[in-house]
Structure 1
């Protein structure tokens, strides 16, 4: 049972829960970015490249049925997809940072009221007592 209690303590820590939420959100974000690239951006790029697909490029490293294939086309496609995904993520983060900066600028524009001190409260109480009619 001590190990179970230790595990509960470990899981209940804030940083473990934050990490779990980050991984879940990251997985969902990955699906969004992948769909954006594969379903929206790649078709536009294929218009300009004539629908070129490098994945079939390669050569055999020997003869016979069991010969290995040096499939450099798959690698080229993986690099191209990585660069597209990295560019899309960069643009999304840049947009999020711009929104954060705008929000921070709005907060800076709002004048902050000075903090109320104990002395201010006591002065207010004294003034309200003076203004009260005596019996």
Structure 2
């Protein structure tokens, strides 16, 4: 059984997948940094500091023991910001894949 497992792991497809996952995770960090550190500051200039907002369902209080109870809110501003980040990342990845495909066509 161990020999069979070793043969399975040594196959190229499994190793290619493992390498792809590691590179994909690293590339994900690069694109996230590009969006959060370079693109979103420019967007925030036009939106006045970012997309914020929410609906407070229950105000923050202090219980009988003096412990703070946080407010309960629907933070739609944070949700919209995450959706905008997703679309920016998707657009960047689209452009990268499009460019990579164009390079592949010219190599052959």
Q: 1:52 to 1:66 in 2, by over 3 A?
A: closer
Please identify runs of 4+ aligned residues in structure 1 that moved more than 3 A: none
In 2: Cα distance, 1:58 partner to 1:88 partner? 29
Corresponding residue pairs, total: 100
In 2: Cα distance, 1:60 partner to 1:47 partner? 26
Q: What are structure 2's unaligned runs of at least 5 residues?
A: 62-68
RMSD of aligned alpha carbons: 1.9
Alignment of 1:1-135 (within 5 A): 2=1, 4-54=2-52, 57-63=53-59, 64=61, 65=69, 68-104=72-108
In 2: Cα distance, 1:80 partner to 1:94 partner? 21
Higher helix proportion (structure 1 or 2): 1
Structure number with bigger Rg: 1
Q: After TM superposition, give the deviation of residue 9 of structure 1 in Å.
A: 1.9
Q: 1:78 to 1:18 in 2, by over 3 A?
A: same
Q: TM-score, normalised by structure 1?
A: 0.64
Q: TM-score, normalised by structure 2?
A: 0.78
- Aligned-partner SS, 1:86: helix
Higher strand proportion (structure 1 or 2): 2
